[in-house]
Amino acid sequence: MASHDHASHGHSHGLGAHALEARREDSRRRMWVALAINLVLVVVEVVGGILAGSLAVLADAGHVLSDVGSILLALVAARLAAKPASGRRTFGYMRSEVVAALVNGLLLVAVSIGIGIAAIGRLSDPPPIEGGLVLVLGVIGLLGNVLATIVLARGERADVNLEGVLRHSAADALGSLGVVFAGVVVMLGGSDIVDPIVGILISVLVLLSSWRLIKEPFDVLMEAAPAGLDVDRVGASICAVDGVRSVHDLHVWTVTAGFGAIAAHVVVARGADRDLIRQQLELLLRESYGIEHTTLQMEEEAEAGLLRVENAPG
């Protein structure tokens, strides 16, 4: 087996870590504001929902309460993610944010199922509700959720936890619209059955909003390539660099949201300048694919023991 000197290996982190921390700090500030808004909404809707006898309002309060728990979970995860790397955890606690986002999505599923079961139980014999109070509570909830959504939407959308909290808040806003609708219908003399029906609709809405929130963190934990990135195209781009003959053992994965990584063995022409080619590849991967963390092992054709593969055309 051919030996490799240290100069034949490249490892680059880029300058992404500082920008990533700045985005996280902005996300944390926005989540604290959203947390304060949601705490106020929970108190108002729980008290008001009990007084109005409305399942729709209580369901909406339960949804908002799940937001409170989700935001707290995300803030704790963000604090853990900022801890420095250690001997055992060489990437630090970056993926704690991803785990929190997955728990966040599962929490949404649990809330939606609970709301749906309670609402279905009321369909056969819906209790009377105070339409006027339901309407007022729906408007308050809508205004609060719209405000929280605006605060969160102006943040960094690549942050998986901020994205998760934003989805909670946006779904809450739509749920509050349903509460407003139920209040108007009852005030106009409609049947009280509209209240559990709206509760069921809210549960379906919550369930749908949770799907992507579960899928994306799951992909990260399974070390899938960043969303939207074509690994075959990355390999072709590497092979298109002058002096590169082939690439093998190519792995691209996501460490955490906004932080992609790549590792590969790159076979170069005999006598080629390995350091120069590695620098060109690092620049290519950073500028064309947004991958800051690169680990490239450079091998000459004879060392690799592979058949020569011509550069990709163009």
Q: 197-208, pLDDT tens digit by residue?
A: 988 887 887 787
The answer to whether residues 57 and 197 belong to one domain is: yes
Instruction: List own/partner pairs for 305-313 with CB under 8 A and 24 or more apart.
Output: 306/245, 306/246, 306/248, 306/267, 308/245, 308/246, 309/239, 309/245, 309/246, 309/267, 310/245, 311/239, 311/240, 311/241, 311/242, 311/244, 311/245, 312/236, 312/239, 312/240
Query: Measuring CA to CA, how many Å separate 160 from each of 156, 169, 250, 307?
Result: 9, 14, 25, 42
End-of-domain residue from the set 157, 189, 221: 221
Q: Is the pLDDT of residue 298 over 80?
A: yes
Task: Say which residue, 19 or 171, is predicted with more confidence.
Answer: 171
End-of-domain residue from the set 221, 256, 273: 221
Q: Which of 30, 168, 172, 13 is nearest to 100 (CA)?
A: 168
Q: Token match 């605006």: residue?
A: 150
Mean pLDDT of 195-221: 83
Mean pLDDT of 41-65: 87
End-of-domain residue from the set 186, 221, 256: 221
**Is the separation of the CB atoms in 217 and 105 below 8 Å?**
yes
Copy the structure tokens of residue 168: 């909670």
* Percentage of the chain exceeding pLDDT 70: 83
> 205: domain range?
17-221
> Tell me, what's the pLDDT at 155?
62
The answer to whether residues 51 and 193 belong to one domain is: yes
In a domain, 275, yes or no: yes
Task: Say which residue, 41 or 154, is predicted with more confidence.
Answer: 41
Q: Is the pLDDT of residue 306 over 60?
A: no
What is the tally of structural domains in the chain? 2
**Is the separation of the CB atoms in 63 and 115 below 8 Å?**
yes
The answer to whether residues 176 and 49 belong to one domain is: yes
In a domain, 11, yes or no: no
> Tell me, what's the pLDDT at 309?
44
In a domain, 6, yes or no: no
Q: Is 254 strand, coil or helix?
A: strand
> Tell me, what's the pLDDT at 4?
44
